Amino acid sequence: MSRIGALNNLSSVSLQLLHGLSAATRGVDETTLRLSTLRKINQSSDDPSGMAIASRLQTELSSVAAVSSNVVRAKSLISTADTAAADIVEKLGEARKLALEVAGGTLSSADKLSKQTALDDLLDGIDRAAQTEYDSQRLLDGTSGFQLSGLNAAQFLDVDVISKQVTSDVTVNVNVTTTALQGTKDYSGGVLGGATTLEVTGANGTAVLELESGATTQEITDAFNSVSYLTGVTATRVDATDIDFTTVDYGSAATISITATTGTFTTTGTGTGRDAVATVNGRSFTANGTAFSVATGQVSLQFDIAAAASGALTAFTVSGNGLEFQVSPNVYDTARIGLANLTTASLGGTAGKVSSLRSGQTNAIDTGDATTAIQVIDQALSEARAAQVRIGSFSKYTLDSAANLLDKQEEQLSAAHSDLMDVNVAEESARLTARQLQQQSAIQALQIFQLGSDNMLGMLQAIALRS
């Protein structure tokens, strides 16, 4: 019985050594695999919960990358719109220069026609810029904005929807409680009794008039109107004694100042206009003249009403979502912008649309009143510049902000994923060395034990033969 027990003990030690060798070999294989793939988790059995977390982080990383790509495309689209809007503003500026040259009153009919031809080319360029496309999407011709229905064009000269905070249609009810007025002054002095120098200041600027002694009300009227494109003030002869002076624009910013630096020229009236006031969906707003900027909580918009518009105006509806961009992995987190309609048929205000400046139209500069043409262009410039500001603000404060946030999210998610999955090469190399040493030690121990077992077995066999 003692011999059998010894053999069993030898077998148990041998088995322990084999188990130790097997464990060391598995450790070497595991560490070698990690070093070859540079991943701590190569299969779910390595770390089930870690694998689940890493999988979720990888999904989030992929989502962030996809949204980042969307934001980059949105930035490119908005940048294209910004470039087109800047081109339109530049062309409107050139158009204003042409109108000013004609308004100066020194050009011949042939020269005016030449300026009109150049103006027609500029207006064609504006319409081409408004139809600029990005990936087959026209940007500034109204198709990338919000849709309006039920609009009474006689009451609303222009409506520009800035944003709509809800996906459903929004009905806009406007009730004008105070109409806008122009600034006015009156002169009742008749023929001038002596040479007079006047400094005339309006919303557009200042001009100096030199009037001779004995100037009639018609001559005074003509002198004022010859510089109205500089001052924004027009004159209307009433009779041989009276002249009415009126600002071109409406509102509190439309003012008239007439000062006699030599001679005498007495006027009456405040010379200051009045802003319109209206309730929009129950909230009161004061206009800049006839131009309202309104935010109701559901929709933000700007509109210009006819000067005579009063009381409850015809309601209109805002629908659509303009351009909508995904700005975060949250499917409900989107940003919307409605790009303004900057075509010549849309640009303008109370004085008329830019399209009215074309050859043969009401405000053509070769045949019409260049002062009115300047007013039309000024209103269009204000509208186009406002569109530029909205585009730039959306790009900077919405898209750039989203891009920065997505970059931070990607960095943090990537760091968390790396912490779970990436191998520390130095640490794993040290572990491999230790496990290889353990493996070699187990092999040597097993060899020594096997040698000892063989010797012991030989001795037992010899003793058995002797007995």
Residue 35 contacts residue 423 (beta carbons within 8 Å)? yes
Q: What is the pTM of this model?
A: 0.72
Residue 423 DSSP class? -
Residue of 95, 175, 111 lying closest to 357 (CA atoms): 95
**CB distance 184 to 256 below 8 Å:** yes
Between the two ends of the chain, the Cα-to-Cα distance in Å is 16
The answer to whether residues 354 and 361 touch, using CB atoms and an 8 Å cutoff, is no
Query: Which pLDDT score, from 0 to 100, does residue 55 have?
Result: 78
Helix (H, G, I), strand (E, B) or coil at 353: strand
Q: What tokens appear for 29 in the block?
A: 């294989």
| pLDDT on residue 6 | 45
Which residues, including other chains, have CB under 8 Å from residue 414's CB and lie 6 or more apart?
Answer: 61
Q: Which residue has tokens 């040290």?
A: 430
pLDDT of residue 467: 46
CB-based contacts of 109: which residues, under 8 Å, 6+ apart?
366
* pLDDT number for residue 321: 82
Helix (H) or strand (E) holding 337: strand 334-337
pLDDT for the residue numbered 466? 56
Would you write out the chain's pLDDT as a tens digit for each of its 467 residues? 444 444 445 566 667 766 766 776 776 767 776 767 677 666 766 667 777 787 788 788 888 888 999 999 999 999 999 999 999 999 999 999 999 999 888 889 999 999 999 999 999 999 999 999 999 999 999 889 898 999 999 999 888 888 888 889 999 999 999 999 999 999 999 999 999 999 999 998 999 999 999 999 999 999 999 999 899 999 999 999 999 999 999 999 999 999 999 999 999 999 999 999 999 999 999 999 999 999 988 999 999 999 999 999 999 999 988 898 998 888 778 888 889 999 999 998 888 899 999 999 999 999 878 889 999 999 999 999 989 999 999 999 999 999 999 999 888 887 887 777 667 667 767 776 777 777 777 677 767 766 666 655 555 555 555 54
Strand partners, 415: none
The correct answer on CATH 3.30.70 for the domain covering 182-268 is yes
Where does residue 240 fall: left (phi above 0), alpha (psi -120 to 50 degrees), or beta otherwise?
Answer: alpha
